[in-house]
Amino acid sequence: MPSLIDLRRRIRSVKSTQQITKALKMISAARLRKAQDRVLAARPYAAIFRQVLGDLAAAVVGDESADNPLLARRPEKRILLVLVTSDQGRAGAFNTNLIKASHQFIADHASAAVKLDLVGRKGRDYWRKHKADILAERIGISQKPTYEDAVAIAGEITERFEREETDAVYLLCNEFKSILSQKLTLTRLLPVEFPAERTSTDFIFEQPPAGMLAALLPRYVAISMYRTMLESAAAELAARMTAMDAATENAGEMIDKLTLHMNRVRQASITKELIEVVSGAAAAQE
């Protein structure tokens, strides 16, 4: 049975941990609002951009001069998987689910050569240990992604696809749904796909549609990458806030249990001392 000193030390240790988890929860909550606003602002822009590109693509159907390398479909023998994890832990199963999904993706495409573009320290550290075919590592941008970061990543990806060094590019990330839930999302970034449903409006373009499509496709890839990173950042903060809230509550329950146990041990010690005193007094009277 642990002594009173050991129990007091454990209680102090758990209280220190509780203060840390509570602080992390408050920090994540403060950052989450801004990250959530950025995600909600990016979603409609990306959706409208995608719809515009779909209308442009419909306008250039059958025009051989409009063939764009970013729309080229090839057998998927060389695949690039962009895995977006976090740089920090303490976010529950946020990174674990992503790594499991990346394992499953590689297993599902066993006949192809899958290379990894790793955004985030956690995914990088894991796949380094497992000797994966890593094409690029991007650390320090997961929590506060910028559009410049997305443009740089998208530029490298599109260049490889245009040079036919990659046949398909997939994005794997956690999409922000709410504070309590994140959705694991796998999307194909390249070749670019457009929604089947397009507007029935007959547009009149001032510029040749083929030229506009060629100019906007790389920007669409960059915007898609940027939105993915924003979704992941918001989902990470939400997951960390939820995990730290649960950890704080668990620490409180542990403190209550340890305090109750300490009081029982102390009460037993006092009772034992009283019994010894009474027994000693009784023996002295005899």
Per-residue pLDDT, 246: 87
Task: Give the Cβ contact number of residue 45 at 10 Å.
Answer: 12
pLDDT tens sequence across 79-89 = 999 999 999 88
Whether residue 262 sits in one domain with residue 157: no
Whether residue 136 sits in one domain with residue 80: yes
Has residue 284 been placed in a domain?
A: no
Whether residue 223 sits in one domain with residue 174: yes
pLDDT tens sequence across 117-152 = 999 999 999 999 988 889 999 998 888 899 999 999
Whether residue 250 sits in one domain with residue 113: no
Whether residue 190 sits in one domain with residue 166: yes
pLDDT tens sequence across 169-199 = 999 999 998 888 888 999 999 888 876 655 5
Whether residue 275 sits in one domain with residue 173: no
CA atoms within 13 A on the CB side of 143: 15
Write out the DSSP string of 178-217. ETTEEEEEEEEEES----S---------SS-HHHHHHHHH
Confidence check: pLDDT of 279 > 80: no
Dihedral of alpha carbons 204, 206, 209, 213, sign: negative
Range of the domain at 88: 35-241
CA distance 148 to 153: 9
Say which CATH number the domain at 130 has.
3.40.1380.10
Mean pLDDT of the chain: 85
Whether residue 100 sits in one domain with residue 16: no
pLDDT tens sequence across 9-30 = 888 888 888 889 889 888 888 8
- Does 191 sit behind a cis peptide bond, omega within 30 degrees of 0 on the bond before it? yes
Has residue 28 been placed in a domain?
A: no
Per-residue pLDDT, 201: 58
Has residue 26 been placed in a domain?
A: no
Whether residue 255 sits in one domain with residue 132: no
Whether residue 251 sits in one domain with residue 227: no
Say which CATH number the domain at 247 has.
1.10.287.80
Has residue 51 been placed in a domain?
A: yes
Has residue 259 been placed in a domain?
A: yes
Has residue 260 been placed in a domain?
A: yes
Whether residue 57 sits in one domain with residue 10: no
Has residue 136 been placed in a domain?
A: yes
What value, to the nearest 5°, has the Cα angle with vertex 227 and ends 221 and 232?
130
Above pLDDT 90, what percent of the chain?
A: 36
Secondary structure class of 119 (helix, strand, coil): strand
Per-residue pLDDT, 282: 65
Mean pLDDT of all residues in 224-252: 90
Whether residue 273 sits in one domain with residue 200: no
The helix/strand count (H/E) of the chain reads as: 5, 5
Number of domains in the chain: 2
Give the sheet arrangement for strand 78-84, strand by strand: 134-138, 113-119, 78-84, 168-178, 181-190
Has residue 275 been placed in a domain?
A: yes
Whether residue 105 sits in one domain with residue 12: no
